[in-house]
Amino acid sequence: RIEKLGRDTRFAQIVDLMEKASTDKPRLAVLADRIAAPFLVVVVFGALLAAAYWWQVDHSKALAVAVAVLIVTCPCALSLATPAAMLASAGALARRGVLVRRLQAFETLSTIDAVVFDKTGTLTEDRLVLRQVRVREGVTRAEALQVAAALAQGSLHPVSRALARAAQDEGLTPAVVRGDVREAAGKGMEAFVGAYGRVRLGAAAWVDAPEAVPSADGGPEAHLADDAGWLASFELAEGLREDAAAVVQALKAAGIRTWLLSGDRDAAARQVAQAVGIDEVVAGASPEQKLAEVERLQGLGRRLAMVGDGLNDGPVLARADTSFALGHAAALAQTRSDYVIQGGRLMDVADTLVQAKDTMKIVRQNLTWAAIYNAVSIPLAMIGWMPPWLAGLGMALSSFLVIANATRLARRPPVQSPA
């Protein structure tokens, strides 16, 4: 049964949230881009002014002086200063498994003072394991798993993938679904399955059955209900990524505050936060609530980086000042992130932060050198002390020094996990 179409679907609503968030996303303009246009005007005006002066003094030198002024600044070291450094860093990160989707994100990342993590599939392993199944009377474990797999097999959520994988490992064929499966982000899924009628799979509040009692340890779980009520509950086990605590420790050592922002229950979220060393926790949050929390922190003056992997994380990945998506993340989440961590190594977050800071340091060095070079060479060319051949040599040398300085970024060793 089709209930909603097009922009009325939950998927479309999340996409809309992401569009609005990314439209409002704060971006620092690159300094060289702000300077380039007026600088070009000044150079051309200076060349014309020098030519006019020398036409009056010695018209045989007028053209040579004007050409020297133009040559000495083209290609301008000022224009190469920023992209050379950012491209060198992007190449270095790519070799370490981090794809940079927006070069200007280096500038933003270098200024952040807080990192917000998602929980499931980010701090925890993407691969969950089915630990226990509870079923109502008259329903077998295999039957419940077949129905759950029928709904879960097309979903990217870690819990759904775990259920589908468990059914496959046990040689079970998913039940037959009549029509399409409707997925409500942050809640669960719904479809018509065989003789069970309308079936819901997801959080306890989503299935709306008194028997769907949350597990005592707050671990990941899913509940199943049909027209007759509660059908089954699935408890899963998740393990922390081996470098989850290390990356939090490294960020704290760098003076970065950390938050955990999760749609899971408070007990489960706090258990993970305590294990990795995160102090601030917001649990049980829908995509809208996650977005509101990020905006609240930004309103307090925080410069945020978001690390996530799911469809639910799309809006906050778009709204955060800069963002990371893990390589296994939903495609929609990856399209709104600035960095994609291909290998799933969380220490790459800390490594990229250091790379961004080093990148902006090199950019400032390049801009300083370019400013000094132009401040000296342009007047020398205008007064006729720098012939065109020497201007060409100076231009090439200046550009070479800027690029050589930028290549230092490609040789920086990656950040290692704290001992």
Instruction: Give the angle subtended at the CA of 41 by the CAs of 38 and 44, to the nearest 5°.
Output: 150
What string of DSSP letters covers 41-64? HHHHHHHHHHHHHHHHH-HHHHHH
Report the distance separating Cα 245 and Cα 250, nearest Å. 9
β-pair partners for 258:
115
3-state class (DSSP) for residue 306 = strand
DSSP state of 122: I
Q: Active-site residue 208, yes or no?
A: no
Over the range 136-172, which residues count as b (16 or more CB within 10 Å of their CB) and which as e? beebeeebbbbbbbbbbbebbbbbbbbbbbbbeeeeb
Q: Which segments within 118-205 are labelled E, that is strand?
A: 129-135, 177-184, 188-193, 197-202
Tally of CB atoms within 10 A around 3: 8
Distance (Å) of CA 331 to CA 31, 240, 327, 335, 337: 32, 23, 9, 6, 10
- Paired tokens of 351: 């490594």
Report the distance separating Cα 187 and Cα 194, nearest Å. 22
Residues in the chain: 419
Radius of gyration of the chain (CA): 29
Name the catalytic one among 8, 118, 227, 264.
118
- Paired tokens of 156: 């990217």
Instruction: Give the angle subtended at the CA of 77 by the CAs of 403 and 83, to the nearest 5°.
Output: 60
Axis crossing angle, helix 287-299 with helix 10-23, rounded to the nearest 10: 10
- Paired tokens of 298: 């930004």
The set of catalytic residues is: 118
